[in-house]
A and B are shown apart, each in its own frame.
Chain A
Amino acid sequence: MEAIHTDFTGYEGQYVAIDWRTGEIVLADEDPRVVLEQAKGRNHVVVHGRVPYADEPLYVGLG
């Protein structure tokens, strides 16, 4: 099985949701409430969270 890749370039600082089948970003907004609300009830759409800027530290797990 191959990992699903997503190109987050250009979405830094925004919250995104992806198409679970392809990894493609289908929703993005600076307000997480907007993404959470728009993703609700949409098939295959999964909220992925915030895209950090390149100079933000890499989390270990979520810690």
Chain B
Amino acid sequence: MAEEHPHPWLYAYREDTQSTRLGGRVLRPFVPVSLAYGEESTGQLVGLVDTGADAILASDLLTEQLEIDLDENEGETSHAVGGRVVTARYKTVILRLHSSDAETGDYREWQAQVGFIEGWHSDGLVLLGSVGFLDRFTVTASRFAQAIAVESRDAFDERFGAVFSV
């Protein structure tokens, strides 16, 4: 069910599959997302909120479930990822952000371009960057609180005033 449970949605930080850094556990701001295209959709996937990324990137394996032909893409861009250059082929899909309350089944959905990458090093992960995610929501991350809050995108202006006028 979409659009019933009001924001903010709070998500606990979660342990990464990469075990340790200097002996300590690696915790990251993950949220559950899924992708849909036409009549097809993926299951829920871990999405990493990454303010340093400009786009939404994901494994091209997901296009198999979505029955997307990436030869019919909307554009290609090269990215430097993990010390190598990869090509993202973009396609507009439906993204769904699922509620932190797993019992409600609630989600928000919107359309955005996703750059699908061949040989993505951690298939299943979706990288949630600025365009397509952080322009849709106000996200507050606190490693101290070990949680992130996702609110409506107007929440920032309501809290701090409009910094920029368009």
A interface residues with partner B (beta carbon < 8 Å)? 1-6, 8, 15-17, 20-21, 23, 32-33, 35-37, 39-52, 54, 56, 58-59, 61-63
Cα A9 to Cα B49 in complex, Å, equals: 25
Query: Is there contact, CB below 8 Å, between B12 and A2?
Result: yes
> Bound state CA distance, A42 and B14, in angstroms?
20
Cross-chain pairs A/B with CB under 8 angstroms, 26 sampled: A1-B145, A2-B146, A3-B15, A3-B27, A5-B15, A8-B17, A15-B123, A16-B17, A17-B124, A20-B44, A32-B59, A32-B61, A36-B62, A36-B124, A42-B43, A44-B102, A45-B43, A47-B45, A48-B46, A48-B124, A49-B122, A50-B123, A56-B18, A58-B26, A62-B57, A62-B81
Which chain A residue lies CB-closest to B123?
A: A32
Once the chains bind, are B82 and A20 in contact (CB under 8 Å)? Answer: no
Question: Is A46's CB under 8 angstroms from B121's CB?
Answer: no
Interface centre among B27, B41, B121 (most CB of A within 10 A): B121
> What is B's interface to A at a CB cutoff of 8 Å?
10, 12-15, 17-19, 21, 25-27, 32, 41-46, 48, 50, 52-53, 57, 59, 61-62, 64-65, 80-82, 102, 105, 121-125, 127, 145-147
Q: With A3-B12, A20-B32, A36-B61 known to touch, is A46 a contact of B122 (CB < 8 Å)?
A: no
Chain B residue numbers with a CB within 8 Å of A6 are 14-15, 17
Beta-carbon contact of A33 and B17 below 8 Å: no
CB pair A23 B18 closer than 8 Å: no
In the bound complex, do residue A36 and residue B19 qualify as a contact, i.e. CB atoms below 8 Å apart? no
The answer to whether A41 touches B13, judged by C-beta atoms less than 8 angstroms apart, is no
Shortest CB-to-CB span from A39 to chain B, Å, is 4
Residue from A16, A36, A49 in contact with B42 in the complex, judged by beta carbons closer than 8 Å: A36
Chain A neighbourhood of B44, CB < 8 A: 20, 39, 45-47
- Tell me whether A63 and B82 are in contact (CB under 8 A): yes
- Give the shortest distance, in Å, between A58 (CB) and chain B (any CB): 5
Please give, as numbers and ranges, the residues of chain B lying within 8 Å of A59 by CB-CB distance: 18, 82, 121
Chain B residues near A5 (CB-CB < 8 A): 15, 25
- Residues of chain B with a CB closer than 8 A to A20's CB: 32, 44, 102
